[in-house]
Structure 1
Amino acid sequence: MRASDRSAIAVMIAVALSSLTLLPLTQDLSYVPLALVVTVAVTLVGGVGRRLALGNGAVLGVQTLVLVAFVLGIALALGGAEDGFLSQVAGLYTSAAEHMRTQAAPMPPHPGVKLLLVTAVGVVAVLTDVLVEGIERPAWAIAPPLTLYLVPALGLAEDLSWWPFVLLAVGYAVVLLSEGLTAADRWPRSVGSADHPQSDQGTHLGYAVRAAAMVVVPVIAATVLVGTVLPLPGQLGWGSAAGRGADGPLQMTDPTLDLKRNLTQPEDYTVLSYQTDGPSGSYLRMASLPVFNDSGWQSAAIALQPGSDLPPPPGLTSEPARTRTTEIQIGDFRSEYLPLPYATRSFQAEGEWAFDDVSLMVLGTGQERNEATRNLSYQVESVDIEPEGSRLTEAEPGTPEDANLTAALPPDLPAEIIDTALEVTQDAESPALKAAALQAFLRSSEFTYSTEPNQGTTYEQLADFLVRDRRGYCEQFAGSMAVMARVVGIPSRVAVGFLPGSRTASGWEVSVRDMHAWPELYFEGEGWVRFEPTPALVTGNAPPWTIEGTNAGGDSTDGAADPSASSAPSASESSASTPTPTPSDSSDALAPTDGAFPWGRVAAAVGVLLGVGALLAVPGLLRLRRRRLRLDHGGEVRDRVERAWAELRDTALDTGQTWPGGSPRSVGTTVAADLEAGPARALTALSQLVERARYARSLETHANVTGLTQEVLEGMTRHLTWDSRLLAAVWPKSLFAGVEWRVPDRFRFWEHIRLPGRHR
């Protein structure tokens, strides 16, 4: 088997194994056979091309064409666009990015993600083949497969299992084994004696296996040991929402990422149950999203306080409607957010918990906080926020403590969202009636509840939902009402949690499909008040304090939700009640990334890795350029001979070999003794040319100086180990041979210091 064939097979195995490290990202395994096919195709083209003696550039070009054709063929088979083939391909990649941004890992199947993963594996196959065969740097072959491993390793909030790293290490070992066999084949066949017979292929294989094992086994063992002994840093990074507790920053997950996944579960099942002394069930609130920008509704940075006794509900000055005690039992539901009735006053739950005194969220802070709620039972004391209808109708928008977040409108909010909010509320006189008008508009027959639209509340998604498609689920309904409430001057935020569930003989049961989002609006004296814009067929009736003719307090028949009963305000009044959009002061708010895949963070890490690699490659690239200039056929014969001699001397210095002093003839004789017959003769001839170039009056020769030099260079480096080759390529000592590494005299202060008793 040729060395190039062996290398192609090694690259194929290494890339195929590294492609499996992407499995934690997706539930769709169909990318694996496609990735295997493109890997085989790329490496097969490389092997055949080198058998046909094609140049490395030509081989790379053919491999690139094969990869592009394969990717385009997959895109054509996947379909998904009607505006042309190129638009179809671009649409698949764009939808893949959006799917990864909005879905938690492992992501559900998606055609664009499949195409993207196969493309990534194909590119890695091409790059690995270039490193191993194109530039003959097999030790560097770890870099491209490592990028595939880093995507889930850096992007997922949970630590990867051991097996992806083992697959990566085994693939690298195969490449090193192939290089070891190739290097062993280059040893002279005639070397041997009666006690040490000539090496055969089996001996070569044994040597190569031991060499690969000496590199890979210690690396795996050291990695396992370091990972076990050393504490890992927190996963707080760019784009993460953090709360600071007693032990430092915590990364908060994005609660909206579980919404659509839970709502579209193929089988509904109970996730928790509760018993309460209240007259009805209760919304169980988990998280609050106060930040709104072009990326949608997001969490904000919060300051967590340890304890289980929460402060009074923000902004509530009147007596609450009632207090209630709730006993909650959670099953196989894992979250760092504790589901609680709003507004909770205290709770008793096992584990480590902390709360935010602004939003009244409670989060786990222990080691396994992402599973803090699993199989947890706890008791909650809370008050019901049920405003009296007439009092709410007269209430003005208040100013919450986090008004810089909850009352701010981004300056680039689309005009169609603003126009829709103003049109819907133009006949409502008070802020509460405006809010009720927005709720009634969204609950009307003009809108359809559907989980088919893409998840998210970006500008484009909300504008499409409000003006054009008008199809969505609770995330779009809640997000739309919250942003339109800000347009008409009411602070707002989006809450995520669970609907009250279904009544049973022993209490209430909440299923996975009861996960829900709703808006909370802030009114003076009432604090944060819940509204329900999602259609009645999903959530039941809206809160009684928002429905026409109802009254939660019982003293009046004027409900807050009677927008038709009030006369239309004048134009001046309408304009006065509409705030001037101001930039959202959310510089301290960091977007949650635990469920959504943090591509920015991965790209930054890969960018740093590539930057460091590029920096380390600078000396080697300079050294390659120097060699190319020295071996150039141009110039006078004397110059070519001197350049060749200097290249041999520097190569010996780079590879740690001896280059003695003395005349060129004596140097040639000494160095040639360690070379094989062919390179030794070439070195002897070259040394004679150097002497004639330096001391003869004229130098006329038909010798191929460059050819002699290359033959000697090949002989000097033929038997180097892979690590010696790597060190010589990355850090060529000859490049720094003329640099004086000494401290200037003015800084050598220690030479002027006289110690007591030591001077005369």
Structure 2
Amino acid sequence: MTPRVLSRTRLLLSALLLALLSVVVLQSLTTVFAPGRWQWTLSLVSVVAVAAPPIATALLPPGRENLALATGNLAGIAAWALALVGNGRAGEWLTGPGTMFEAAAHTVNTAATPLPATGAVEDVLLTTGLLVAMAVGTVVAGIGAPFAAGGVLSLLLLVSPAATGVAVDRWPVLVAVVLLALLAWVATPRFSVGGLATAALATVATLLVVSAMPQHPDRAWNPAVVMSPVNSSVPDVMVTLAHDLQEQSSSRVFQYTVAEPGTYYFALATLAEFGDGRWLTEETADPDGLTVVDPRPGDLGTTQSVDITLDGLRSEWLPLPQGTQRVTVPEDVPVAGTSGDAGEGQDTETNNFDPSKWIWMRDSATAKADTAVTRDGDRYVVDAQPLLSTTLGNLDPATPSVDTSGTDVSPYLELPGQVPTSIADATGEALASVQADPADRLQVGYALEQWFQTAGFTYDGEMPYTPGDDPTDTYAVMEGLISQRHGFCVHFASTFAVMARSLGIPTRLAVGYGSDTGGGGSRSVAAKDLHAWPEILVDGRGWVAFEPTPGGPGGPGEGGEPLPAEAADAADAAEQTPEPPAPEEWSETPNEEQAAPETPTSEVPAPQDPETTEPTDVEDDAGRSALVTAALVALAVAGVLLILLSPAIVRFLLGRKRLRGIDSGDRPAQDAWTEFTATAVDLGVLPRTGGVPEARAQTPEALVEYLTGAGMLGDGAAGAASAAQGLASAVSAERFGGQDLTGVRDGLRTMLTTASDGLATGRTRWARIRAALLPASLFRRPGA
């Protein structure tokens, strides 16, 4: 099809319809990109780039198609350039394109949907939209296929469900269906039911694919990638962490290797500010801009080496062991294989982790990057001295002390309003049980830790965490835990921190991952190992981690974790507290909860080795993902087949309609003749225009005479020629003689079958296949 097949009017109408379709489709992207200025800027650029080529082709004289395409595309590029100049970032792209792309990639990789389409992200979106729009405009003006161009544009409706798992609203899909149908109507030189039916079938296939997408976030579609609960777009880290914990994903986030057994907390971030029942992340960077390569002040002397290889975690916060002092990168060390535990196999790629992008936070051993995100295979070695409540007694008394005198503790003491009586009473109960001195921070920490672990509290992963629901009740979450005595790590950590603060003790929360090692070696950490724990600022030591969550990693009294001397009295007093509930009430999820002990002081079973643990959850996730993928692939294949076979389906339906007309209609001869000539056009025997210049006249009899003389009715197929001549005589008698032929319906059916078989005789197999799959009669009705 040449570009001049479409008339000037049809080209202009196609440009208008495609411009409207581009605007509608772009509005459907608001589930991926947050609404903003980009919608109107991109719509303007797309409208110009889509409509300019066909408009230029319609206005310029024939033979100037290349000039029209160039002119139209230049108009789109000019609109795009004006948009870049208008937002003031054109110079930045010219001088530092790499930096701009890095900034855009960082936003896309770290922010949750809908992404903020500002800055470099907006510019990349504009450029992508320009390229798509130029391709669509070229398809219309270059090959005269507006319906195909509309189909390409409509594929953008699948961006939202593919990226977020959330189907687009119904209104843009319905409008797109109407516009596609109109484009199919415009594309046909003669308006036909077949063109509209083809458009309808194609759009129905699109609707089926879109409606099959799930109504929940994309994590289920890509279980190997785990988004960090701590990122710039999360309004409440603790709520996100609670949601992620309840998902119980077995996807691996990283693996680590240590020489010494014990409990390891890997912090992503700390939270100190507490207001309206919500905890806010500490994001104040080191004032000197020190990166993780620079040792943190207050080195405690002997440190442990932890070798970490990231796998699946996407985070702008680097997972670091509690008490990290410095991060180094092994030189010329291949990345550990990602298909097994650390040490199994090696990847040929080198380690691309760049520690200079990760900056220390001011008052914590956590690090955040502004232009980077964790990636699979990132490997680094950490020197750390974990400060855990259960291991403080193991520290050498001669270890240099940490100077905490200059720390501003006011953010870690903040408590809005009046602390409820229930929390104050619980705090007094915990201290009285071990005769703890309220002025001794360590004694208070041990007392609260023991009280939560032994005073009848149980772990409950289904317990809701909804802070801020009642603005007048800031402490609702804490009071709920104390009264109901069940919750999960978020409840226990936040309540512990509030109780300690009520005594004037600086506390904060840490969020990250908890892991127990029964011995040295490599361990894998999964998304379900997310954890929250409280930390107390201890003079001369720094921030010490406590474990109030029953059965949580590193809890006091666990096997292999000795109790410090300062906690001995707390442990003795805890034996008098009530027994926990029966084992069947305890969750089986490792790290966050363990099997219930027979007595309050029984050891919690050591965690199983990853190599011997049955990967039931992993297999279930993989199985579900495989089934979903297979279903989507099958649906997509079915949709494509439906679109490809739609001409054949429409042709079949029209043929059946004509046959019913022969059997029961008022003009059976006309229906038989129309079906005969349509078959001739499909087989390439007659041209699509219907007229045959070589025939002596454009009548049915003359047309059959031409077909017989040209051997188109089969060599020596006298029966086919006679049948065709009979059909011609019958339709002429019905048309011009007014004869009623309803009494010879069977004869007309027989003549049609014989004549059609004659047309197929001598045709090649390819011609017959093409006639079935791409029937030409649908696009231009033959005349006679």
Q: Could you tell me the TM-score, scaled by structure 2's length?
A: 0.39
Q: Which is bigger in relative contact order (C-alpha 8 A, separation at least 6)?
A: 1
